[in-house]
Amino acid sequence: MTTQSRTTQGRTQTYPPLRIRRLDSGLPLPVRAHPDDAGVDLFAASDLELEPGRRALVGTGIAIALPIGTVGLIHPRSGLAARAGLSIVNTPGTIDAGYRGEIKVCLINHDLDDTITIRRGDRIAQLLVQRVELPELVEVDELDDTVRGDGGYGSSGGHAALTTSTPSDEETQS
Ligand SMILES: O=c1ccn([C@H]2C[C@H](O)[C@@H](COP(=O)(O)OP(=O)(O)OP(=O)(O)O)O2)c(=O)[nH]1
Ligand SMILES: [Mg+2]
């Protein structure tokens, strides 16, 4: 299978192809909603009711063969997240290049009150393909110094350095 060139918004780029198998012939082939979208929307292969706070693993009816040196990331869809509180427990899910099984999504209902109803064929998540480094691990006794050092977990603070004028001050002045 050869490398493919795609032209979107006047720019041509070359990507290795993504081989995909439909394990469920009743579902369409997943596609990008727009040609230059990062994510390919994935379908739910089965119906599902998710009560508030509950999670469930749902099949997508596809298997893929990612090029070595890439990773598949399964992200939630923002519309469903904002409208219904639907997300993914392990977001983003990691699809290893060597994985040939069905891609499944561990959905979770974050809404406190309402059950989410998923129907077979609903677009419930999106697959992104990214390049990934596969370095060998080399054990060392010391790591090089950096400005951050071992500071983390909020060590840089959490509040903006505000100027004295606020938007409401500016409205009053104009
Ligand atoms: O959202 C996901 C995440 C993972 N997988 C599949 C593909 C991935 O290659 C495999 C293993 O995923 P991961 O490494 O995240 O899980 P693990 O708990 O470490 O399992 P394993 O021991 O099989 O690596 O499960 C999915 O289908 N959907
Ligand atoms: Mg693993």
**Span 1-18, pLDDT tens digits:** 566 676 767 777 778 789
| C-alpha of residue 82 to centroid of ligand 2, in Å | 29
Above 80 in pLDDT, residue 165? no
Cite the annotated binding site for substrate by residue number: 77-79, 90, 94-96
Q: What is the ipTM metric for this complex?
A: 0.99
In angstroms, rounded to a whole number, what is the distance separating the alpha carbons of residues 109 and 86?
5
Residue holding tokens 């999670």? 55
Q: pLDDT: is 164 or 47 the higher one?
A: 47
Cite the annotated binding site by residue number: 77-79, 90, 94-96
Domain boundaries defined on the chain? 19-131
**Closest atom of ligand 1 relative to the 102 alpha carbon:** 27
**Span 101-153, pLDDT tens digits:** 999 999 999 999 999 999 999 999 999 999 999 999 999 999 999 999 999 99
Measure Cα distances from 28 to 42, 61, 76, 166 in Å: 10, 10, 20, 52
For the entire predicted model, the pTM comes to: 0.90
Architecture of domain 19-131: Distorted Sandwich (2.70)
**Closest atom of ligand 1 relative to the 99 alpha carbon:** 9
Q: Determine the pLDDT at residue 138.
A: 98
Average per-residue pLDDT in the chain?
92
